[in-house]
A and B are shown apart, each in its own frame.
Chain A
Amino acid sequence: MKQLVLRGVRGGIGATSLLAGLGIALHEQGERVLLVDLSPDNMLRLHFNVDVAHAAGWARAQLKAAPWHETALELLPDLHLLPYGELGGAEISRIEGQLCADSTCWAHRCGLVAHNYDWVLFDLPQRLPGHRAVVSEANRADVLIDLATPDPGCHVLLQQRPRPDADLLLINRFNPASQLQRDLLMLWRSQPKSNRQPHLIHEDEALPEALAHKLPIGHYAPKSLAASDLRSLALWCLAQRAKC
């Protein structure tokens, strides 16, 4: 079982959509996948046609001291989703406090389900360090992918070298018509000493449309370029697992 995290260098760059798409792409390759929503926004479920009103989730269960794993939803055989659950601001802080106190919480939980899944994919919030324990130096996930869009803001943030080092730099919404984007991509590719070889997801209208249809991209528009890019990302993940 491998843990995989998509770490956006900033918010709003499509990390949740891509994680949903990657989950589907890995599942298409015959992998057993668990998607875990660690973000209080509780958005990941919306990519899989879960009702907006569906309030259950692992965090809510944890607050009620109920078994967390019973909130998991089976989307397809061997493709499972663990939503966060609808929580208020104070409740989120309580969860954050618990997670900070027990930073190996999710590592431990992964250990419990290790024999059921090949991949556990985490969707992270932008802040809340307790929720982000899976990207801390101590508990780093097996596969860590940095996500950026080719814009100057991300460039500035990438220069600060988020720690720990990621295995791959994933670039979302790449539009080769833009001079600036091409230039930035070239610059990122040329970065010496960086083992984060950039991988592209092209800008594709099918991605936002997929969310509007409450479907992951691989199901909404399987022939689209974005879906094809995600499939090749899934293949990279499999190759990466073979390496480690």
Chain B
Amino acid sequence: MPNPLSYYQYIRYRRGASPIAALSWLIAYMAAWLLLRLDAPGWQWVMAERRRLYPHVAGKRPTAGDPLRIVIQSIWLLVARAPRSAPARSLGDRLRSTWQRLRSIAQQLPRPPRLRRRRPFDLPGLRNAEARVGRAERWLSSLSKPVRYAFNIAIGALAILLGILCITEPFGYTAQVTFVLLLWGLALLVRRIPGRFAVLMLIVLSAIISCRYLWWRYTATLHWDSYFDLACGITLLVAETYSWIVLILGYVQTCWPLDRKPAPLPEDSGSWPSVDLFIPTYNEDLSVVRTTVLAALGLDWPRDKLNVYICDDGRRDSFKQFAEEVGVGYIVRPDNKHAKAGNLNHALTVTHSELIAIFDCDHIPVRSFLQVTTGWFLRDPKLALVQTPHHFFSPDPFERNLGSFRRKPNEGELFYGLVQNGNDMWNASFFCGSCAVLRRDAVESIGGFAVETVTEDAHTALRLHRAGWNSAYLGTPQAAGLATESLSAHIGQRIRWARGMAQIFRTDNPLLGPGLTIFQRLCYANAMLHFLAGLPRLIYLTAPLAFLLLHAYIIYAPALMIVLYVLPHMIHASLTSARMQGEYRHSFWGEVYETVLAWYIARPTTVALFNPGKGKFNVTAKGGLIDHDQFDWRIARPYLVLAALNVAGLGFAVWRLFTGPASEIGTVLVSSAWVIYNLLIIGAAVAVASEVRQIRRAHRVMAQLPASLKLANGHAYPCTLLDFAEGGAGLQIPPGLKVEMDQPVSLILQRGDRSFMFPGQASRQIGERLGIRLDNLDLAQQIDLVQCTFARADVWLNRHQDFETDRPLHSFIEVLRIGGRGYHRLYEQLPSVLSTPLRPFLRLAAWLLSYCPRTPASKSLVTPS
């Protein structure tokens, strides 16, 4: 029998709780003691793991609500996510053991080997699906040709008829619910089947649901009696039509990624093509260009067949001197006409090699770049372009400000991981301005790089395709660079791309004109449409306000019907994209990326669409520093306005709930849900605008490479290279080793079977981590250092290893959480006049949130006995 009085005193005085809190803890303690067998091993384990299982209660001053928090968290742990390493416990244990038994039964069932490798826990009925498909294919190919033809046509016709029926047949509530549930269940089943058949199936399901939605919107939801309602409704419908087109085109574009492999070169390096490597620069620092040039000098390509040129539009003496010092070509021109495209075109006139490799001055090629990329040029004489991904080793503003660097795929990952790969299937890979190899004949045959628009790269590729040249995309990162530093620079870059794409869309529309296949047209059209997303996004962010503020019926249908049509459309689209893109973009993150850009690209794209001649080239600023945390009010302003409008909308919603007619309550609720979603997405955009401090000029690249350290006294130690940067490195040294600061040390690195030694200085040591400065190297050593670090053939290959896997629901909650964080940061930035009255509300929200269950850390702190 425990002593209640001493427990009370312990909680009250030793843990510093208030009398009420101590009383509440005491009651809970007594109840637990009476009802549960606390000395059982299961409960002992829970006690030992309490910090992990109840992170929000452990370690803080006890309060009166804690018992309730513990109960809620316990229920959550039992029901939602049983911690994996938990040993036997009362109820959860029984549930889990049943589940494990089911699983072990399922595992014993026979299944084809391919499925077993990919996904261990499939539903038994679906396991043979792939084998059955294979059998059907064999049967089909055994038929004679005309029979097969007729069979295909019949199946196709039947499918089209069925599709039309599914899309156009109006349903009542019950029918629609049944239909939606059927398709949803089918999608959930198909989702678990590995292979591309399942992807195509998901696409078909999603396309049917989305077409059905749009059909319904056009035929049944416009309010023709009121001009104002009709105008608002049609505006929204146009935006939705745009999204539908982008969705369908996206499916076409990425349904079958090619995953092209490099083509091997002939053994005799004498037959390899000659290459001119251009590094165009305008106003970037020499320190940025330097690394790129040093890496280019180490490319594994016959020296007599490789010429490196710095194409300097800044005409700087320091660059000329540097070029002479390292022995690379230096090209300048009398004027700066047409910016980068003009620069490259001028370089074309003074050089002669068969191939041209182009690197932005901050993109560092790895040594295998040319041997990996050029093989296809020998294999396909009509090949004009091989593009490789742009990989960034520094965080972009999204990653930095949202803290997602190295954890989640970044904004560009989708394009380079999936879209370009899908384009390659249709011979429609785009040129992206850097990290690419082009055939000189091809570029010259179209009159050089396109100069008419501000995105010369995409336009050049379009012209090459029109002229009948082929393109290829290799998804292996063979170069890496710096991402844009600040959000404003990032937005500036996207504005330029958006404007350029809109210009091309107007002046050289890929849907019109000669020379392209239908799929090339679709791929280009989708790329350009993608940049017109600004206006539709703004429409979505304000659409529910039309009803809440102005009482316009934008979707003229019963609220329940809207839910029954919209939700399946969204769920199918996100299920399908999670399956297709999950590796390259997590669900709902696209919303954040798009929302941040929406306001800023809406105007330039619209202007460019109407007046393509307007708009000049602006250079993307890179390498800047942000010396303290700051909130970019200028960037965030439009989103604050949108947020204020949506908050007002919420106010109106409350007012309408109480004073409006009862028949509108459903509509008000649906609109409010939409407004709240919009508010959180806007919050995420605001979160991106609060810039996180960035002090390091040279970005550290994480690594795991064996290395050695030699001290001045002649002792040497094996260690691991953990990170490197220009002029510095971080090492893991053996435990217990003390290195005096500022003493000279040498770093030994290997590449292939060669060793290199670099003199440096110890700069700081924290435990087993040693930082060293490598700033006094001669030129040969600098080249070797770049070759041992940035230019290693494998340095960017494992970039995905720390990515979390995409779970749509999880991702959704995370995006919402980021939205909440955005408002919190905004609140911190407010002047106290504004923030003081808000404080009680925030306190209330924080107090309510403290009851929310938490996800326990996955790693157990103690080993279960």
Residues of A at under 8 Å CB distance from B? Answer: 174-177, 182, 185-186, 189, 200, 202-206, 221, 223-226, 228
Contacts and interface: CB of A to CB of B under 8 A. Distances in A.
A176 B714 CA distance: 13
Nearest to B755: A176
A221 B757 CA distance: 22
Contact of B755 (A174, A205, A228): A174
B717 A176 contact: no
Nearest to B734: A223
Interface string B735-763: 11100000000101000011111010000
A207 to B, nearest CB: 10
Nearest to A198: B753
Contacts of A175: 757
A206 B715 contact: yes
A202 B715 contact: no
Interface in B267-313: none
A202 B708 contact: yes
B713 interface: yes
B716 A226 contact: yes
Given A202-B748, A204-B716, A205-B714, A177 B757 contact: yes
Label chain A's interface by main secondary structure.
Answer: mixed
Nearest to B735: A223
Closest 4 CB pairs of A and B: A205-B714, A225-B716, A176-B757, A223-B734
28 contacts: A174-B755, A175-B757, A176-B757, A177-B757, A177-B759, A182-B754, A182-B755, A185-B754, A185-B755, A189-B753, A200-B755, A202-B710, A202-B716, A202-B748, A203-B714, A203-B716, A204-B716, A221-B715, A223-B718, A223-B736, A224-B715, A224-B717, A225-B708, A225-B710, A225-B717, A225-B718, A226-B716, A228-B718
Given A202-B708, A202-B748, A206-B715, A223 B756 contact: no
A176 B758 CA distance: 9
Contact of A223 (B710, B717, B754): B717
Contacts of B755: 174, 176, 182, 185, 200
A182 B734 CA distance: 26
Contacts of B754: 182, 185-186
A204 B714 contact: yes
A174 B710 CA distance: 12
A177 B716 CA distance: 13
Given A200-B755, A202-B748, 17 more contacts: A175-B757, A182-B755, A182-B756, A186-B754, A202-B708, A202-B716, A203-B714, A205-B714, A205-B716, A221-B715, A223-B736, A224-B715, A224-B716, A224-B717, A225-B708, A225-B716, A225-B717
Interface in B789-836: none
Contact of A176 (B734, B736, B756): B756
A203 B736 CA distance: 21
Contacts of B717: 223-225
A145 B713 CA distance: 30
Scoring B713, B716, B734, B735 by chain A CB atoms within 10 A of each residue's CB, the highest score goes to B716
Contacts of B737: 223
A223 B713 CA distance: 15
Contacts of B714: 203-205
A205 B746 CA distance: 14
Nearest to A222: B734
Nearest to A227: B718
Contacts of B708: 202, 225
B241 to A, nearest CB: 65
